[in-house]
Amino acid sequence: MTQLTKEERIQAALASFREGKTESLRQAARLYGINHTTLHYRLKGCRPHAVAHTESQRLTPAEEVAVVKAVQQMVIWGWPLTINALETLTTSLLVKKGDLQPLGHLWYQRFLSRHPEIKTTKSRATDQSRKDAGSFDVLCKWFDLFNSTKAMYGIPDDDTYNMDEKGVMKGIGDNSKVIVNRYDKEVTSAQPGNREWVSIIECIGGSGFVLPPFVIFEGKTIQRSWTPEGLDPKIKIRVSEKGWTDHEIALEWLQHFDALTKSQTKGTHRLLVFDGHSSHCTMDFVAYCEANNIMPICLPPHSTHILQALDVGIFYALSKAYKVLVSRKSLFGAVRIDNRTFLEVYSEARLGIPKNVASAWRCAGLIPFCPEKVTSLFRPVTPPFVSLVDSQGRKIDMEVNQTTEQRFSQLIDRVNSFCTPRTRLQLDDAQNEVLGAFADRACLQTLNDELVAKQRNARMNRERKAFGGARVLSLGEMQKQKAVAEAWELGEAATKAARAERRGISAFAKVTWKEMPVDDDVFRYEVILKTLGQRKARRTAFHGWGVFIKAVWKDLPVSFDIFTYEIGS
């Protein structure tokens, strides 16, 4: 049986007794887990505790329900309210009623106890761009693209792969529980503490296959002393100036991937899922993919924490295992983690990757293909609603639509059939007010949803990566994008050149205006036009310069040294 609130179980027990489904009140109480005394008093007409004390509450039940709905709506929009924000919202309602007294210190606790459908919890801070990436439409488009690409090329699950780059700090351990003296208040554990970043490119397959990693150290040359004994020879060690992936390393990794997966390919193509990092979206990278039947598909921007199998099920456990091993090595004294020690520790930490591969694909909703696994968490709640509270404290949520209005109008018509004419007029006025409130609520809800969606889309457009959102990369598309980028660069260069020329013209005018004898008739006409309306002398002179420039820039023989001197200064 689904979990019911206490009030719902009381109402169900009373209904069961009244309908004769249970022989006695005690049997109904036992069946629904309610004290039989409570049912006895309710049957006699006693009101529930929450309703009986509503007169002493500063907000009416309907107002409290409105606050709860506002809290739930803010959660849907991605801006959950803090306790201070909740108290501010409630205080604003009280002020509008003329109640200027501050809320009690523990008001929010009593409010939450009256409304078990909401609770307090710790929120995890995340970037706004990542928050916006959790759009239901964006997620649905991604899953459609993934599934249609596999179907188009007949790619089985075993030929589907996911790659990503992860950064690791060499000497940072993990906080862990330790055993100490009873009266020790604070205990610390030593760790190496060196914070050099190492980049690792990991890749997993839908069959459970885990590729040997690419380890990228910061440096210029690879040292022989870095390689410990017994290291897997398939693990590749590379260096870069900043310790991150570049275009050459990404292409080399792709060749490494091709060599290790080609022999076990079951279909004609392989699907490679990755983020839209610029090192992967290069002409050489995509050309190699097309030449070797590898379909590169990019995730939507800022969505890897939701959609990427490595992020969802591998990297956290891998990072945790590495930190635990670093802490263990520091048990009797922390020693700086060099590249050789890092490879030893990391190789041991990644031994747990294979057991998590299946769950990682499953949590990403890709293998087996189940978009609902992810999209259900971001499905929007769109219908506007209105909440009513009856005399027994029961809350009723109704969608504000034509059906609700029709039902309300029918109810008013039935009441009017046995009312006096004066009461009918009052009911008609009340009906108009209520229907107007329904319409206002629906309009405001729609406008709010549209405004939130517009803000989210604007942010996503500003932060969109160079080559767009989720897509299958192709060489033709990359060439088009490159042509567009080159055209834009040429336009920018022409604009900069024009600005430089204008600066040169202005410099020429400043140098020659005072030093060269120029006939006043050259610019008199323009000056007369611009002085209409009593322009300031400075503005007049400025426009005079403009006409002077147009007249003499190409016609008068001016020494190039004059122009060069001003530009140089």
Residue 490: the pLDDT is 85
Which comes out higher in pLDDT, residue 180 or 318?
A: 318
What tokens appear for 226 in the block? Answer: 């870095």
Considering the entire predicted model, what is its pTM? Answer: 0.60
What tokens appear for 465 in the block? Answer: 């990566």
* % residues pLDDT > 70 (the chain): 66
Fold agreement between 1-46 and 128-375 = no
Stretch among 223-227, 234-238, 407-411, 510-514 having the lowest mean pLDDT: 510-514
Domain ranges of the chain: 1-46, 60-125, 128-375, 385-462, 499-568
Q: CB–CB of 123/269 below 8 Å?
A: no
Buried residues in 333-348 as b, exposed as e (16+ CB within 10 A):
ebeebbbebbbbbbbe
Amino acid at 370: C
The four Cα atoms 437, 441, 442, 447 give a dihedral, to 10 degrees, of 140
Residue 364 has pLDDT above 70, yes or no: yes
Which comes out higher in pLDDT, residue 562 or 144?
A: 144
Fold classified for 128-375? Nucleotidyltransferase; domain 5 (3.30.420)
Which comes out higher in pLDDT, residue 559 or 50?
A: 50
Q: CB–CB of 54/83 below 8 Å?
A: no
**pLDDT band for position 159 (50/70/90)?**
very high
Residue 8: the pLDDT is 80
pLDDT tens-place string over residues 382-441: 544 545 454 445 454 545 454 566 666 777 777 777 777 777 777 777 777 776 666 566
**pLDDT band for position 211 (50/70/90)?**
very high
Separation of alpha carbons 146 and 462, rounded Å: 25
Residue 52: the pLDDT is 62
Residue 558: the pLDDT is 43
Which comes out higher in pLDDT, residue 14 or 519?
A: 14
Q: How high does pLDDT run on average in the chain?
A: 75
- Enclosing H/E stretch for 189: none
What tokens appear for 511 in the block? Answer: 């140098």
Neighbours of 6 (CB within 10 A): 13
Residue 335 has pLDDT above 70, yes or no: no
Residue 73: the pLDDT is 78
Which comes out higher in pLDDT, residue 399 or 96?
A: 96
Residue 15: the pLDDT is 86
Residue 168's nearest CA partner among 22, 323, 48 is 323
Residue 515: the pLDDT is 54
DSSP assignment of 163-177 equals EEEEEEETT------
> Do you know the residue count of the chain?
569
Residues 6+ apart with CB under 8 A from 188: none
Residue 180: the pLDDT is 64
CATH class belonging to 1-46:
mainly alpha
Residue 553: the pLDDT is 52
Which comes out higher in pLDDT, residue 390 or 140?
A: 140
pLDDT tens-place string over residues 450-498: 676 776 666 656 554 434 567 777 777 767 777 777 888 888 888 888 7
Separation of alpha carbons 197 and 216, rounded Å: 9
Which comes out higher in pLDDT, residue 504 or 18?
A: 18
Q: CB–CB of 325/345 below 8 Å?
A: yes
Max mean pLDDT range (164-178, 224-238, 435-449, 492-506): 224-238
> Packing angle between helix 107-114 and helix 83-96, nearest 10 degrees?
90
* CA distance to 142, 157, 235, 349, 457, per residue, from 305 (Å): 14, 21, 26, 21, 19
| Beta-strand relationship, 236-240 and 214-218 | parallel
If 0-12 CB within 10 Å is exposed, 13-18 middle and 19+ buried, where does residue 414 land? exposed
